[in-house]
Chains A and B, each alone.
Chain A
Amino acid sequence: MKKIKKFKNLEELKKAIDQQEASRKREKKKIIVVSSGTCGQARGSLKVIDALKKAIREEGLKDQVAIRITGCHGFCEAEPNIIIYPDRIFYQKLTPPDVRTIVKETLVEGRVVEKFLHRDPLTRERAWYENEIPFYQKQKRIVLGDNVFVDPTSLLEYLAIGGFRPFIKAVTKMKPDEIIQTVKQSGLRGRGGAGFPTGVKWEATRRAAGNPKYIICNGDEGDPGAYMDRSVLEGNPYRVLEGMMIGALAIGAREGYLYVRDEYPLAVRHVTMAIDHLYQAGLLGDNILGTDFSFDLHIAKGAGAFVCGEETALIASIEGRVGEPRQRPPFPAQKGLWRKPTCINNVETWANVPLIILNGADWFSSIGTSGSKGTKIFSLVGKINNTGLVEVPMGITLREIIYDIGGGIPDGKAFKAVQTGGPSGGCLPASMLDQIIDYESLTAAGSIMGSGGMIVMDEKTCMVDVAKYFLNFLRDESCGKCISCREGTQRMWEIVSAITEGQGKPGDLELLEELALATKEASMCGLGQTAANPVLSTLRYFRDEYEAHIYEKRCPAGVCKSLIRYAVIPEKCTGCEACKRACPTGAIQGTRKDVHLILYDKCIKCGACLEACRFEAIEAQRDEAITIVKEVKP
Chain B
Amino acid sequence: MITMKINGVEVKAEEGWTVLETAKFYGLEIPTLCHHEGLTPYGACRLCLVEIGEGPRAKLVSSCTYPAEEGLVVHTDTKRVVQARRMMIELMLSVAPYSKVIQDLASRFGVTRMRFKIRNEECILCGLCVRMCEEQMDGKAIGFQNRGYQRKISTPFDIRSEECRLCGGCIYICPACQLRCQGPQAETAICNACLTMEPTCLDFYDELQCWMYDAGRCGTCVREKKA
Contact = CB atoms under 8 A, between A and B. Distances in A.
Partners in one complex: yes
Contacts of A494: 116-117
B87 A515 contact: yes
A286 interface: no
Contacts of B147: 305, 307, 476-480
How many chain B residues sit at the interface, stated as a range, is 35 or more
B146 interface: yes
B148 A482 contact: no
A468 to B, nearest CB: 14
B108 interface: no
B84 interface: yes
Interface stretch (A123-131, A190-198, A413-421, A521-529): A521-529
Listed residue (A305, A329, A489) with the most chain B CB atoms within 10 angstroms of its CB: A329
Given A480-B125, A486-B149, A524-B62, A327 B43 contact: yes
Contact of A484 (B42, B69, B91, B149): B91
A330 interface: yes
A329 B65 CA distance: 9
A327 B18 CA distance: 11
B152 to A, nearest CB: 9
B46 A483 contact: yes
A327 B115 contact: no
A301 interface: no
A481 B148 contact: no
A518 B124 contact: no
B95 A487 contact: yes
A561 interface: no
A167 to B, nearest CB: 37
B25 interface: no
Interface string A456-492: 0000000000000000001111111111101111110
Nearest to A323: B147
A108 interface: no
Nearest to A495: B116
Interface string A11-54: 00000000000000000000000000000000000000000000
A521 B84 contact: yes
Interface in A496-537: 507, 511, 514-515, 517-518, 521-524
B191 interface: no
B46 A522 contact: yes
Interface string B143-165: 01011111100000000000000
A322 B88 CA distance: 25
Q: Is the interface of A mostly helix, strand, loop or mixed?
A: helix
Given A490-B149, A494-B117, A518 B84 contact: yes
B83 A491 contact: no
B208 to A, nearest CB: 23
B78 to A, nearest CB: 11
Contacts of A484: 46, 84, 87-88, 91
B115 A511 contact: yes
Contacts, number: 103
Interface in B120-156: 124-125, 127, 144, 146-151
B221 interface: no
A526 B203 CA distance: 43
A491 B59 CA distance: 23
B84 A322 contact: no
Contacts of A523: 46
A248 B116 CA distance: 51
Contacts of B125: 480-481, 483, 486
B215 interface: no
A486 B46 CA distance: 11
B160 to A, nearest CB: 22
Contacts of A476: 147-150
A382 B124 CA distance: 38
A503 to B, nearest CB: 11
A491 B149 CA distance: 10
A489 B88 CA distance: 13
B46 A480 contact: no
A14 to B, nearest CB: 47
A256 to B, nearest CB: 27
B83 A518 contact: yes
Contacts of B124: 483
A522 B144 contact: no
Contacts of A507: 115
B220 to A, nearest CB: 25
B94 interface: yes
A531 B43 CA distance: 18
Given A478-B148, A522-B46, 17 more contacts: A322-B144, A326-B43, A330-B67, A478-B149, A480-B148, A480-B151, A481-B44, A483-B124, A484-B46, A489-B149, A494-B117, A518-B84, A518-B88, A521-B49, A521-B80, A521-B84, A522-B60
What 7 A-B pairs have minimum CB-CB distances, sorted nearest first?
Answer: A480-B151, A327-B65, A518-B87, A487-B91, A490-B149, A522-B46, A478-B148
24 contacts: A307-B147, A322-B144, A326-B43, A327-B61, A327-B65, A327-B66, A476-B148, A476-B149, A480-B144, A480-B147, A480-B149, A481-B127, A482-B43, A483-B45, A489-B148, A490-B148, A491-B94, A507-B115, A517-B83, A518-B88, A521-B60, A522-B49, A522-B60, A524-B62
Interface of B: 41-46, 49, 59-62, 65-67, 69, 80, 83-84, 87-88, 91-92, 94-95, 115-117, 124-125, 127, 144, 146-151
Interface of A: 305, 307, 322, 326-327, 329-330, 474-484, 486-491, 494, 507, 511, 514-515, 517-518, 521-524
